[in-house]
Amino acid sequence: MGIFGTIVGGYLGFMMGGPLGALLGSSLGSSLSQGGARQRYGGAGSATYSARDQQGIFAVALTTLAAKVAKADGQVTQDEVQAFDRFLKESLRMSVEDRKVAARVFNEARESDTPTSQFSRQVHAVFGGQRDRLRDIVTILLTVALADGHLHTAEDKLIRQIAADMGLTDGDYESCRATFMAATGHSDSSPYEVLGVTSSATDDEVKSAHRRLVREYHPDVLQSKGLPEDFMQFATDKLSAINDAWSKIKKERQL
């Protein structure tokens, strides 16, 4: 059973109230009545979540924020909707049934008047200690924003604000953008930004950054930190971009 199927099935131990819990309840309605959701939302570090809990939070948060980004420029285009569905299908390997539930959450978030900052701050409360997971969310949001071939000013501004609300820096955002560009074949992406370092970094600093990212995207590590198995294709694509960036830097520096 996929993660959204689990949610509908009533296994809602992960739902901790707050804006994400309210939105999920609104979008799925009576499907949640048997879940026994526990009100665990609070500040960072206020609750401990199992790997399965974090999988559910990650899926709902990602879908909610993607909807907000798609609407940032004033309208949600068919390209953006299809891009997100394609990501769920191809990169997360979600079933048709799971994607139907995700669509309900997406549509509810798109119409919600709740400020985006409330959702992104709740995400930070859960994943604040996992910066790479937060960076993954930003990278995926860029996928949605660029579905129509343009990163509109309003979309760029909103994703930057989401990143900031989740505790990330401008440098984190630029690294996410560079990774996305590299993974989608744009040759103008900086290999240094992909690794999250500057071109003035020492050889040891670059090597350390590459080793950390490779270790972070090992399948066993991802699963231990609550990422669903379906996430592995996205992780594989990102790891490929990371290794390609490292190869370019090695060649440039003759390492």
For the cut 80, the answer to whether the pLDDT of residue 112 exceeds it is yes
Considering only residues 6 and 82, tell me which one the structure prediction assigns the higher pLDDT.
82
For the cut 60, the answer to whether the pLDDT of residue 226 exceeds it is no
Phi-psi category of residue 134: left, alpha or beta, with phi > 0 → left and psi -120 to 50 → alpha: alpha
Q: According to the model, what pLDDT value does residue 44 have?
A: 41
Q: How confident is the model at residue 38 (pLDDT cuts 50, 70, 90)?
A: very low
Considering only residues 237 and 116, tell me which one the structure prediction assigns the higher pLDDT.
116
For the cut 50, the answer to whether the pLDDT of residue 36 exceeds it is no
How much is the average pLDDT of 198-226? 83
Q: According to the model, what pLDDT value does residue 18 have?
A: 80
Q: According to the model, what pLDDT value does residue 64 have?
A: 92
For the cut 60, the answer to whether the pLDDT of residue 172 exceeds it is yes
Contacts by 84-92, CB closer than 8 A, 24 or more apart: 84/143, 84/144, 84/147, 87/140, 87/143, 87/144, 87/234, 90/233, 91/231, 91/233, 91/234, 91/237, 92/228, 92/230, 92/231, 92/233, 92/234
H and E: helices and strands count for the chain = 13, 0
Q: How confident is the model at residue 96 (pLDDT cuts 50, 70, 90)?
A: confident
Considering only residues 45 and 40, tell me which one the structure prediction assigns the higher pLDDT.
40
For the cut 70, the answer to whether the pLDDT of residue 32 exceeds it is no
